[in-house]
Amino acid sequence: MASSTKYIFITGGVASSLGKGIIGASLAKLLQSRGFSVTIQKFDPYLNIDPGTLNPYEHGECYVTEDGAETDLDLGHYERFLNTPTSQSNNITTGRIYNNVITKERKGEYLGKTVQVIPHITDEIKANFFKLGEDGKYDVVITEIGGCVGDIESLPFIEAVRQAKWDIGAHNSLVIHLTLIPYLSAAKELKTKPTQHSVKQLLEAGIQPDILVCRTEHHLPLEVKKKLALFCNVQLNCVIESMDAESIYDVPLMMKKEKLDERVITKLKLTPKNPSELDHWKEFLGRLKNPTQEVNIGLIGKYVSLPDAYKSIIEAFIHAGAAMECKVHLKLISSEELNRDNIKDKLKELHGVLVAPGFGERGLEGKLEAVRYARTHKVPFLGVCLGMQVAVIEFAKNVLGLKDANSTEMNPDTVDPVIALMEEQKNIDQMGGTMRLGSYPCELIKGTKSSAAYGKTKIHERHRHRYEFNNKYLQQFEKNGMIASGLNPDTGLVEIVEIKDHPWFVGTQFHPEYKSTVLSPHPLFVRFIKAAIENKINQN
Ligand code: GLN
């Protein structure tokens, strides 16, 4: 354990989905703005080794890091707020902890001891709490504990927090408890009792929270704050109000106003390296809130009933929209609702079409129609991963005349497998962690829409897929106007396709959305919005 690194733990009470990830990311942003190097990690109490195998309907999007870890979507918020990459070490699940312990047990590392939750599981959790702080790279490590206090499955994490606080000693760690203060409209009253109970539950586990962050729909009167302070043994100025925000990007400034960062700095005896510097953030908010134009973009996918399944894409549009001072009205459209007869009607209001990533055959027909519409009506198009593959299939079918063209994911026996499995993937029978994952280099061809968007030719982007463009067909595609504008320099795999004779039609095998942040909006999303604005102007 690096002695100079400070550790902040964030627990949650009363209800889930209060936004621990956003509070953590906002605090991290405020500390970063004072010159500290900060990272955030998330500990999830479920038994999956990672969220890679979870259905997006269960848990929202799976976020992929540079090193190819499939992680919780909160890591996306950390990167978008902090503009620094996270890694496998930033997301640990109970499944991974048990897997590590059981692997050690099988290797005989416990020397004949009975392996138990305490101390072996808790020791493994603690080792992971401290891992990122070990090399002294970070002044502060923030750890978000998933779930709610009182859940059976998060008990070992809470016990590990208790021990960790004790191990690192005073002023080196603190616990922030995020809680809900419900408003009973019939009584016209804010209620503190649920919070009192959840703090009692923490106390039973041996943890006294240092700061309460209270989610609320109404301002907390001083009386309510006093009551919370008295019954929860927290200093009055450490009862922090967190009102519902219009945008998640407002939260850092709201927390600054509430002095969350100052309380943390005082309690951890930190010395800020510079005065708080948030000019860029404020500029971003200024552009976000004062758009000079607006466009309608369609996001075509199969998980649209749970927008969290497309979290990073949705946020990338917010960043790109702000960069262009353009309000992006994003319409989530289920691909299963689209067919040749209704496509025009369903998409006619759109100034740009994005076909989303995904797995499996369901909704393929609707996605093909959406691509065909965008291609033939010259509507700006961005295809992401499966979206790019569908664009390739559509082009093969309707331009090259290969009527049976498909991906072998959808039809293993297709006559024209324009998208197919890579050799290395053919013998894999496990599901978890077996895709092409994480950051790969890509070389852009000069003079293309892609190289114009990036303004350079060497890029790195993150992947999460099994299937690839089948290079056997490349010449035929290029002769007919769909070119490979980005290639993997090591393997020759096609990473980007675009149509030359179209205002803006780009498909990427990688996921650009994972790298879009407030500080660096993704160039492809920015160019796509620009093309949508131009399309709208031309229409009028
Ligand atoms: N299902 C496709 C593949 O595995 C695309 C995956 C994705 O869109 N992330 O290649």
Tens digits of residue pLDDT in 187-243: 999 999 999 999 999 999 999 999 999 999 999 999 999 999 999 999 999 999 999
Mean pLDDT of the chain: 94
| Residue 426: per-residue pLDDT | 67
Return d(Cα 359, Cα 343) in angstroms, integer. Answer: 22
| Residue 430: per-residue pLDDT | 63
Return d(Cα 310, Cα 303) in angstroms, integer. Answer: 8
| Residue 53: per-residue pLDDT | 81
| Residue 2: per-residue pLDDT | 42
Return d(Cα 476, Cα 513) in angstroms, integer. Answer: 30
Site to substitute for ligand 1 among 299, 428, 465, most atoms within 8 A of C-beta: 465
Name the token pair of 173. Answer: 């760690």
| Residue 17: per-residue pLDDT | 85
| Residue 55: per-residue pLDDT | 82
Task: Determine the distance separating the centroid of ligand 1 and the alpha carbon of 346, expressed in angstroms.
Answer: 25
Checking if the pLDDT of 477 tops 80, the result is yes
Amino acid identity, residue 370? A
Q: Whose CA is nearest to atom 1 of ligand 1?
A: 359
Task: Determine the distance separating the centroid of ligand 1 and the alpha carbon of 476, expressed in angstroms.
Answer: 23
Checking if the pLDDT of 434 tops 80, the result is no
* Closest-lying ligand 1 atom to the alpha carbon of residue 511: 9
Which range (14-18, 117-121, 329-333, 398-402) has the least confidence? 14-18
Return d(Cα 374, Cα 347) in angstroms, integer. Answer: 9
Ligand 1 lining (C-beta closer than 6 Å): 357-359, 385-386, 409, 464-467
Torsion over CA of 242, 250, 7 and 88, rounded to 10 degrees? 120
Q: Which residues are part of the catalytic machinery?
A: 385, 511, 513
Tens digits of residue pLDDT in 242-264: 999 999 999 999 999 999 999 99
Task: Determine the distance separating the centroid of ligand 1 and the alpha carbon of 463, expressed in angstroms.
Answer: 9
Return d(Cα 368, Cα 364) in angstroms, integer. Answer: 6
Site to substitute for ligand 1 among 310, 361, 389, 410, most atoms within 8 A of C-beta: 389
* Closest-lying ligand 1 atom to the alpha carbon of residue 409: 1
3 state SS of 274: coil
The phi-psi region of residue 254 (left if phi > 0; otherwise alpha if psi is between -120 and 50; otherwise beta) is alpha
Return d(Cα 191, Cα 539) in angstroms, integer. Answer: 53
Site to substitute for ligand 1 among 464, 470, 494, 495, most atoms within 8 A of C-beta: 464
Tens digits of residue pLDDT in 417-429: 999 987 766 666 6
Q: Rounded to an integer, what is the distance from CA 10 to the centroid of its chain?
A: 19
Name the token pair of 452. Answer: 């114009």
More confident: 380 or 538: 380
Q: What letter does residue 488 receive in the DSSP assignment?
A: -
Q: Extract the runs of DSSP E, i.e. beta strands, from 72-188.
A: 91-93, 140-145, 173-180, 183-184
What is the residue-wise DSSP string for 147-204? S-TT-GGGHHHHHHHHHHHHHH-TTSEEEEEEEE--EETTTTEE--HHHHHHHHHHHH
| For range 37-46, the mean pLDDT | 95
Q: Whose CA is nearest to atom 5 of ligand 1?
A: 386
